[in-house]
Structure formats: C-alpha cells, structure tokens
Structure 1
Amino acid sequence: MELTADKLIEAHYWMRLTRALDDRGTFLHKQSKIVGGYFSQIGHEALSVAAGMALGPEDVCAPMHRDLGTYLVRGLTPRRIVAQFLGRRTGVSRGRDANLHGMGDLSLGLIGFISHLPASTPVIVGVAHAFKLKSEPRVAMAFFGDGSASQGVAHEALNWASVFQVPVVFICENNQYAYSTPLSRQMRIEHIADRAAGYGIPGQIVDGNDFEAVYAVVHEAVERARAGGGPTLIEGKTMRMRGHAIHDNMAYVPKELLQTWAARDPIVRFEATLRARGLLDDVRLAAVLERIETELDEAQAFAEASPYPDGAEVREGVYA
C-alpha cells in the first residue's frame, strides 16, 4: 500500500494519539487510579504505528506492552483501552487486568499479550502455520524485544518459521535495554538482524524512529510473506525513553544516551517531514491535538463511569 498524503496524515494522527494516550495512562497512574504497574512506550510510536498500518485487515499480530500504536491502528478504541487501564468491566480484558497485559481481541486480529517474553512468538508462528495449511493469503506478525532475542523460545519460533516457510514477520524492537541490562551485556553481535542468516531467512535493520522507513521495510516483508516468500526478521533500532515500568527511574541509562535519542524523537522527525511537504502546519497540528484531547477526555469519563467486574464472572472465558 502506497503512503499517500492521506495515509501520512492518518499516521500522524495515530502517532500523536499513541503518545497522548500513553501520557494519559502515566497521569492516571500518578493519581492512583491504575492498580499495579504501568508500562510506557514513549519512543516506540513510529515502530508500532508503521507496523500496524503495514498489515492487511485479515492479518493477525501479537503486539507487546510498548506497541500501543498497533492496538489503536488495529481498532482498539481509547475508551476500551482507558477502561482496561482502570480495571473496569468495559476494558479489553473485562477488568481482569489493568494495563496492556491481556489486551487481545481476536475479532481485530490481536493476540493477547503474554507477559513472559517472548512467549507470543511461537503462538503467532502457529497462527501463521495455520494460514499456510489452509492456503489463506494472510500474514501473522510477532513483536519481541532485544532481551527476548536471547531466549530459547524466540530461537524455536524463528527456526520453526524458517523450516516450514510460514507467512510471519518478526519485529525485534531493539530499544537498547532489557530492563536494566544494556545490549552489550546481552550479546556479542552488534545487530540482532544478523542472526537471520543462521535461520536462512532475510534479516533487515531499520531506523525504528523513522516512520516511512519502518513502513517500507515491514510492508515489503508482509507482502513477501503473503506471496509465499516465508518469514523475515526485522530489527527496529529505537530507544525506550522512560523506565521499564513506571517505578523505574532509569538511573542506569547514561544521560548522554537519552539526549541523543531525544534528538531523534519519532514524532518530531515525522512532523518535520510533513511540514516540509506542506501536509502540516501550526493550525493543523493544533486541531489534531485538540481532537485527541477531546477523545481522551471522553474515554476517561467513559472508563470512570464504567463498573468494576463482578467477582462471579472471574471464571468466564477461562474454561471451556
């Protein structure tokens, strides 16, 4: 799908909505309205939105806790997501969780996030294998992080996908730290995508903070998989601009590194591109931000007016 002017404007809305919704979640947590942890995805907007937009409507993906943009692009509304944050019955998991864990909706092609990383990868490979066995022109997409890349289950998923040439795209979000462990303490290689050669599949590196670059690489991999070309491993290089979770002050991250990545902010860069092409100006930006603020105010009001789940429902949807 070509990135027309309309698509670029749409992408800008999704990226701004993603960041604003993330900020709203942080704010709600500080108000003690979110029970438990909260995981920010600031810095991942280009990766999550571009990957989501590169998929077709019948495709399936398994996003993680820093892929809020993908959930939005696939059709989860801010109302349902904020209700999820607040643990309400109208949330995605119907009050069984209070953050992005449990955010799945099969009707939208979203596999619920499995907290034990990267446990979603073999699940999504199974989905892709089913597509192949049924001769369906559909693609599955798995997200995982740099820390997950060193776990055995990720290797097993990549190896299976390669051997059976299933239509799956693996997106490794290399945000430099697995909790507090820097990449240099996780592996001796510089590029995670180099591992693709060991599986006999294409491996590509992309600037994860460049929306158009991410979209181009992911879209190509998706369509190659759809045409029978098998899996691809894509490494998107980015940075997690906040702690592992809201309790983490990131004291272990050098300030100079954060400053370097702040200068490469995906939204700032994308807006500069749109302005240069005459697709964005101060008036249009103000209108987008106002629209988003109104949407999030309405979503929060909806969530806060929603009931908590009834304890009697706790086993519904768990056992057949």
Structure 2
Amino acid sequence: MAASLSSTSVPREVATLRTLRIAKHFPFFLVVAEEQNLHRAAERLNIAQSALSRRIADLEKELGDVKLFERQARGVEITPAGRLLARDVREILYDIEETSRRVARLANGDMGTLRLAFSEPMIRRRLLPSAIKKFRTAYPDVELKAFPLTSEAQRQKIRGGEVDIGFVIEEANDAEEFNVLRVGMDKFMLVLPVDHPLTAKETVSIRDLEDEQLIFPARNLSPRLFDRIVSAFDVNNVSPIISVEVSAVDIAYGLVAAGMGLAIVTAVAVSSAPDDVTFRELVDLDLPLQLTMISRKSSEDALLANFAAIVEEGLDGRVSSDDADQPVPIGSEA
C-alpha cells in the first residue's frame, strides 16, 4: 500500500520549507500570468527570459509537475490550474501585505488593546475623560478597556499583566516599581448641610468634629486612607464617631443632606455638588494626595506611550489646578 501523502504525515519543518520554496516563485508567476508572454514578463521583471522560464518550471515541479502554462509560438496560455493558482496567489499576497500593514500599525500603537484602570476620583476629573476621548478619536482602531479599581487593586493588576495603565493615589515606593507620571493633587474637605452651625466658620478643625456624626469611607475599599484619617484624629485627641461608611460620592451627599452626619471628601471642583450641601476646609487634616499615572517599568508598548503622550498634553494645556468635575468621597479610593 502506498504511503499516505496527507499533510498530517509531513513534518512541520518540511512542510514549511516546501511552502517557502513555492512562495518565492509567486511574484514571477503572476507577471507571466498577466502578460501571457515570457519575453514581456522578463522585461517587466528585469531578468533574463531563460531565468524566468526556469522559475516557472521549478514552480510547476514543486507543485507536483502541474502544468501552469501551455507554451505557444507567440507566447504562453495559462491553464485552468494556472488560473486557479493565480487567483489564490493574489489573495495570498494581499493577505501578506495586509498582515505586514497591521503588524506595523500594532508596533506603532495604531491598533491593539489598551487596558486602563482608574479610581473614581480620577474619572471625575476632567483630565482623564478628556484624555480617553482624545485617544479614541486619534486611534479609532484601538480597543480601550476600562476598569474602575482601587489604587492597590490597580497595582496588583499591573504587576500581574492584567492592566496596562493605572491612575492611583501615589505611595512612597511607586516610583521604584512603576513608571510614574504625576497628574494632580487632592486634599480633604468636609461636606456639611447648608444649615449646619459649622457653616458659620470659614475653616473647620478636627476638634470641631468631636461630637459630630461622621461619614467615612468604607474601610474595606480604602484601608490606607481610612487609617490615615483616623490617625489624624488621634493626633488631635479626637475619637471619630463614624455613623456610616460609604463608597460613592452620591451616597455621601445624600446622607449629609439627610442629616446623617458630615462627610469627608477629596477636594476637587464643587460646582456639581447638590444645592443642599456645602464645603469647608479641614485645616488640620493636612494629608495631600498625589494622583499619579503608573505603568510597568518593563513595558515598551507603543499603545501605552501614545496614551501617556495624550495625558501629558492634557497636563501641559491645563489652565487650572481645579480640573475635576466634582468632589468624591475618599471611600472610592485606596
């Protein structure tokens, strides 16, 4: 019984070499198929007619002694097998060109997938939504995936290669582990009902809050900031009376307006706050929050570089440090 000639019986290395031997003849074959004349085809290719004839003969042999052209006195006539090959070769060469173009675009950051993580404080600032919009306009073929996460969750995802860029509240060792770009600063302020007695004061101290019901961030979402605030209270010999722990700014506003307590939020633009709450500075809660864009130091991804460039443009063009849409509770950040 004759041995099977199916592709499964041919080692991958042998099949690949045979494919390369066949493919190297394709450009020459196509010109002959178009000209239907070896002399004109050789002139067009700027090679000797004898060399071109050998290439066609080698291709026919590699294909299993398949006749691609019928030789005639005034030229050649392509065979049905040749017409089928010409059609398929055009598709193959087009696919190669398209693949080459797509690979170049991917290398240049013009296509692909960018995974972006951020905390609620960052997405509420004008800088990040504006950068996302500009990036999507400039790179419409890039798939942008967004993940709202706490700062520490972002760091873990970046370490694990699950996220490309994060926007976090910076920690002391971030610059050692990540590429960092500082994008803004926040501080804490107090949210009060408009009719609260403390609104008579321009600034409020932690001691003023000694007997107040307070709305704090949910500790499980932001343990570091929670502990930093509690420590600031301890320094002032005040034990905070925490009535509610929240994880979203709208919840904090609603609870303050309902008289459930006073909330601590990060200090960003307050123009979008409800009419029935107001803000005061906490003079002795001096915990500046550095907002930072981070990415893996080992990454040389062009997509990441393109997005970072747009963020930097936004920083350069920013006319005011008050670049956020509304305050957010610290409970949304870690």
- TM-score, structure 2 as length reference: 0.24
- Larger Rg, first or second structure (1 or 2): 2
- TM-score, structure 1 as length reference: 0.25
Give the number of the structure whose residues are more often strand, by fraction. 2
